[in-house]
Amino acid sequence: MPELVVLAEQLLAPVPGGTGRYTAELLPALARTAPPGWTVSSVVARHTDVAAAELDGVEGPRVLGLPPRALIGVWQLGIPWWPGGDAVHAPTPFAPPRTPAGRTLSVTVHDTVPWTHPETLTARGVSWHRSMIARAARRASGLVVPTRAVADELAVLVDVDVPVHVVPHGVRVPAGDAPLDLPARYVLAVGTIEPRKGIDVLIDAVAALDDTVLVLAGQPGWGGVDPVALAVERGLPPERLRVLGKVPDAELATALRGASVLAVPSLAEGFGLGLLEAMAAGVPVVHTDVPALVEVAGGAGVTVPRGDAAALAKALREVLGSPERAAELTRSGRDRAKSFTWRRAAEAVWAIHRRGRS
């Protein structure tokens, strides 16, 4: 029986981030849409606890013989250790360096940040991502990118010798209900707290809004971004900032339900899953003019220039001050989100492997 193996290592990362959420959503969708006779299983490096990589409807995770750092090194050196299966999907550039005869490999490249905004990553992260993406662009059966914007940027920045498939993410509104003691009106931002997310600009913008609370949902990433210290520095009173940290789905659902508006102040993105989740949940969205965000929002949000705190404050004030405008954005956002499904994303990945085996 043929098997699709999906590398689920990102689910066990210290900061899974958006790519972890992508992996957690796509993997079960691949299992639900498997062609007749195919099985879907996950694999991870050797960890003491792999429970976070267990997903309903997916076999595994099967544990490989090497710990994460060793497996990263083996593949980065080009040692052709295949993780098993007739086909492999890598939800991140962490992928085997070669594809054996008769097998297929698809690799998701989420963004081009290592080239366009290297200052927002560690030097090691820039080097690793550039080398792994460049190799996948030469040797995989196909690349998966979430937006046409990423495909266009990749074509300019990398020598791509394999087919590139634009496969938008799906969306599932987080479910559940958890008490969070949030105010009646607040601006919400969701995502890893790191330099490219534009948290400093958002704090500047909210500081200019009278009596508006900013709620941040997301765990700290690299870069030492400290929202509390930034708030003190930028004049946002401490009572107007709530930092929730990493939140489970039930708390995220509560935060989304109560939000007056979602702000996405990012300097760079490849998709913007948080933006789409907010639209699906009926939350008005204000986002920057990052090409991928503009593409995903499709005109259903308010767009502001990157790094412009005054423009961001003006847009947030417009939404917060006009119930009619907020309702209009809610309607258009929900309509836009309906076109994104994980089933469609999974079927597109399966199509890559069908073509590669034909």
Cα pseudo-dihedral 221, 227, 229, 234, rounded to 10: 140
Round to whole Å and give the CA distance between 49 and 65.
14
Domain co-membership, 28 together with 166: yes
* pLDDT of res. 148: 98
**Whether 71 and 163 share a structural domain:** yes
Alpha carbon distances (Å) from 153 to 50, 156, 357: 35, 5, 28
State residue 44's pLDDT score. 98
Parent domain of 304: 186-337
State which amino acid sits at residue 273.
L
Regarding whether 320 and 284 lie in a shared domain, the answer is yes
> Are 353 and 212 in a shared domain?
no
Q: What pLDDT, on a 0 to 100 scale, did the predictor assign at position 178?
A: 84
Backbone angles phi, psi at 303, to 5 degrees: -105, 135
Report residue 250 as tokens: 């039930």
Q: Does residue 89 belong to any structural domain of this protein?
A: yes
Instruction: State whether 327 and 349 are in the same domain.
Output: no
Same structural domain, 216 and 126: no
Instruction: Return the SS3 of 182.
Output: coil
Same-domain check for residues 93 and 213 = no
Phi, psi of 334 (to 5 degrees): -60, -40
User: What per-residue confidence (pLDDT) applies to 149?
Assistant: 98
pLDDT averaged over consecutive 10-residue blocks of the chain (358 residues)? Answer: 96 92 97 96 97 93 96 94 96 96 97 94 94 98 98 98 98 87 96 94 97 95 90 95 93 95 97 96 98 98 98 98 98 98 98 81
Q: Are residues 10 and 132 in the same domain?
A: yes
CATH number, residue 111:
3.40.50.2000
Domain membership of residue 180 (yes or no) is no
| Residue 192 and residue 154 in one domain | no
Residue 258: Cβ-neighbour burial (10 angstroms; 0-12, 13-18, 19+): middle
Tell whether 346 and 318 lie within a shared domain: no
142 with 36, same domain?
A: yes
pLDDT given for residue 128 in this prediction = 96
pTM of the model: 0.94
In a domain, 178, yes or no: no
Which pLDDT does position 87 carry in this prediction? 98
Domain count along the chain: 2
